[in-house]
Chain A
């Protein structure tokens, strides 16, 4: 077997050194009822050729985004990732290292994390950022838990524009931790509605911009209302490229900004692994979840980086930890940071503008179709449209003709009464011909 270096002679020699007569003697502590003398009922080992054949078979039964017009977003976006990113993240020293617990031989990973935190803090307009969480949805849930710790209050109010699957992730954790959640009914342009729901028990309000319908909102007034009631404002963003065009959460008064960072540096990967961005005001940092990398010096006075404030974490604090998180999303954070470094401020702004332009062009083309209505008043690169038919059916129809039209809102929140709503996303990878073809097919499908 190609991954196992020991030869039969090695094994015999080593058993001799150990003083065991057979490998079975090393498993002597396993109760007799559970000892298996034969391999389980699964295929035996296979060479690279056979494994490639099987994985290729599975891969060919999927329609990849690059094959044609593709307008799917709703929390994951297909952007172009420069070739350099994938090359660097496959370097052994990044790919095959562990969490940097031994800083003297992990400065590569640690400096990257410090740079990542600095980039995320700048993008979100916040004081500090952590070294990443699993993804945007779990980062949102962790933010709600943090608000509970900071305010010692037990209620979270979520707007009707928060991604329904994010709401699901929040509700799971909140239920476990005894935090009540109030999620307002799905609404295309009503982030402000959370203000009326804030009361003295409210630990935090959670709003999303651009929200799941693509609507961008200035949340400054929400921040003021939350703060007046002693609650924190959590601002969620699922499309990190929007930071290049839109006001930052920090500039609008957010206490915690969380985001899905997949858009920068990371592929779609059918939903994961992604990278959760988490940033907050400095005064709350000791209540933050996840790893933090900080600057320090070594014994010679040279600058270096270490994981810090780990007295918040599970391996030290155990049942008193701020979160049970052990892993972060290190390699995805690296990919994010490399792509962000390549873009720079100028590249990010240009990328964001380009995304916005594509959405404007697509919206214009679709708005011209009789019966199709653009619902999102202010959008970045994604918007909702109302169709004269069931959106899920339309998506299936267009998929059969090679166009992946977007996400029917009903898939995210069945029973919301928005079965005719389609979420349409564009990026810099959207071609003008994609837009034309999409509009043409859609016009036919809604006749």
Chain B
């Protein structure tokens, strides 16, 4: 017990009504307002101690920057305080359940962070001699082996830097394969309406026309529609499996067969691989290419929006077209093939400078080793179990979009249950913030009206799930009871109220600008 008075513990005097309470200075207890770094007056400050540069003859005359740059500096204590205060305005998976469907917000093990900071893995340069980084290249080879084994695919391109980058990589390999076979005229990509936005964006970027595939009433690809749209003009289909409705594509083997029969490739969006890892190998389903978000299935941290990593596993047919670099090893050791020459001549190019997201490889590899083949299988099972538990416990109050049969790793609800309550999906989601949870994914997938996509992940305990479900049940009952005020202005208890996004877009203010000096007072 802490003692605030001299030797005497304090106790609340009486229950008091805090409604309408305001501090005198505008402070709000532990929740600090924080100015921008540009408003802290540090124009001449620095938080680093560097030796003075000794003047020497330089050939840079005429090239130097003589005008002010306009950058503020902070001493170390000011910097620490600034960023710690800001950090406290964020929700985080370390704080509470973060049920963003399709995003897989699972626990990020700290061992992975520690390993990624070993000097032998972090303080090495992508272009130092390969003889001096044999362990790093071996790690890439080990990671590749795990990814290939888990997916049942013969090859992997490690270098894509995120899921969307992986999609691009996969489609470029497909395009190169078609061109090599004289099939460059295939210019259409088929994708379901429920696809992630990155799928059509990537396909369009590669010069493909995107045609949507219809969906059945039970949330899967409509085989008849797919078959009618396949043909000699189709380069590939892009199908997410498990799909964005949180359902396994039951007919996936037939989807692959039809696709291949039409001479097209099957690109699988692997964003939801976490639901099946260790239990199902995409290679057994007829997939030709699939990206794996290391920041989803293999727990590398999302970091407030990246960095991610999106290695792409490839079938035998596509493997020769994989981008450089890749790893080979023989008796003399490990080596990176960096140029598309000789045996690598069919490589379609490179996705970026250097070798990809090594820092993410280390974390993902540490995670794989920790779980092992048995643990990864348990990951998929617990992720699916948790989602079905959420679905089961909320189905009497909320309306599951696909009530029949089990879901995979995420539970999808529509907004039919909110009809006539005056509460929208958005309102409901914002009210979750007041209950201490991050909202679920809203209005996605597009095929479900007012969609609410809940992905709890396998790293939630039953107690936390129950706490979450109980809160949602209370909210659902409040919505049905007509307590619209609770929802319309939500969140009430966040650092800020709802923000004016329309204003932000209409008059974009994208950087700090100095306030113009006050005009001189008129005489």
Closest to B509 in A: A295
User: Is B172 touching A176 in the complex (CB atoms < 8 A)?
Assistant: yes
A308 part of interface (Cβ distance < 8 Å): yes
User: Is A314 touching B489 in the complex (CB atoms < 8 A)?
Assistant: no
9 A-B pairs closest in CB distance: A344-B73, A59-B120, A61-B135, A331-B303, A271-B354, A271-B126, A273-B307, A92-B94, A45-B372
Distance of B76 from chain A, by nearest CB (Å): 6
The segment out of A7-15, A191-199, A365-373 that lies at the interface is A7-15
User: Is A324 touching B201 in the complex (CB atoms < 8 A)?
Assistant: yes
Known: A270-B133, A299-B497, A328-B305. A294 touches B126 (CB 8 A): no
The segment out of A114-122, A222-230, A439-447 that lies at the interface is A114-122
Count of interface residues, chain B, beta-carbon cutoff 8 Å: 208
Other A-B contacts than A103-B501, A129-B511, A354-B51, 15 sampled, CB-CB below 8 A, are A26-B388, A57-B135, A62-B133, A76-B354, A96-B302, A176-B207, A178-B207, A295-B510, A296-B504, A308-B510, A313-B197, A329-B306, A334-B304, A344-B46, A407-B127
Distance of B113 from chain A, by nearest CB (Å): 6
User: Is B203 touching A319 in the complex (CB atoms < 8 A)?
Assistant: yes
| Set A114, A119, A269, A338: member contacting B358, Cβ < 8 A | A269
| Set A58, A76, A300: member contacting B136, Cβ < 8 A | A58
A108 part of interface (Cβ distance < 8 Å): yes
Q: Which residues of B contact A11 (CB under 8 A)?
A: 382, 385
Distance of A397 from chain B, by nearest CB (Å): 10
User: Is A348 touching B504 in the complex (CB atoms < 8 A)?
Assistant: no
User: Is A3 touching B459 in the complex (CB atoms < 8 A)?
Assistant: yes
Distance of A71 from chain B, by nearest CB (Å): 10
Cα distance A109–B304 in the bound complex, in angstroms:
6
User: Is B385 touching A65 in the complex (CB atoms < 8 A)?
Assistant: no
Distance of B143 from chain A, by nearest CB (Å): 11
User: Is A65 touching B460 in the complex (CB atoms < 8 A)?
Assistant: no
Cα distance A57–B62 in the bound complex, in angstroms:
50
User: Is B132 touching A28 in the complex (CB atoms < 8 A)?
Assistant: no
B230 part of interface (Cβ distance < 8 Å): no
User: Is A327 touching B111 in the complex (CB atoms < 8 A)?
Assistant: no
| Set B60, B368, B499: member contacting A246, Cβ < 8 A | B60
Cα distance A15–B309 in the bound complex, in angstroms:
34
Q: Which residues of A contact B165 (CB under 8 A)?
A: 134, 138
User: Is A316 touching B284 in the complex (CB atoms < 8 A)?
Assistant: no
Distance of A331 from chain B, by nearest CB (Å): 3
| Set A62, A104, A309, A377: member contacting B430, Cβ < 8 A | A104
User: Is A314 touching B115 in the complex (CB atoms < 8 A)?
Assistant: no
Q: Which residues of A contact B516 (CB under 8 A)?
A: none
User: Is B108 touching A95 in the complex (CB atoms < 8 A)?
Assistant: yes
Q: Which residues of B contact A72 (CB under 8 A)?
A: 125, 127-128
Known: A46-B372, A270-B124. A5 touches B461 (CB 8 A): yes
Q: Which residues of B contact A246 (CB under 8 A)?
A: 60, 63-65
The segment out of B1-9, B83-91, B311-319, B416-424 that lies at the interface is B83-91
Cα distance A299–B488 in the bound complex, in angstroms:
12
The segment out of B12-20, B359-367, B477-485 that lies at the interface is B359-367
